Amino acid sequence: MRTLVILTLLAVLVMAATCYVSVYSEQPLAFSDPFINRRRANDFIQADMRLEAISQERIRERNKAPQERQREICEDYYPCELYAFRHGYAAAYRHYFGRRRTK
């Protein structure tokens, strides 16, 4: 009788150990499914980093170099642009706008 109780307890323990359903048993293993979900594909990129990069690009657009501003001014004035094709934008800006004094 004693051996029957021990065998029954041992059988219950073996059944509990092998039939236990855990969270890990419901998830597929990494090597069995190498592809990730389309929604989780870009989770490694932080949203705030993307927004920060966009804002930095906008700041760079607002703060142009003086040479870039001079080139844009020269491109808007056709004689300056023609002069720039032959002598360069720096010389054309000096030729047409360099003598001006702003107050």
Tens-place pLDDT, residues 15-66: 877 776 665 555 555 555 666 776 666 666 666 666 677 777 777 667 778 8
Residue 92 exposed, middle or buried by CB count within 10 Å (0-12, 13-18, 19+): buried
Residue partners of 92: CB distance under 8 A and separation at least 6: 74, 80, 81, 83, 84
Q: What's the DSSP call for residue 21?
A: -
Residue partners of 89: CB distance under 8 A and separation at least 6: 67, 70, 71, 74
pLDDT above 60 (res 102): no
Structure tokens at 91: 């010389």
Query: How much is the pLDDT for 44?
Result: 63
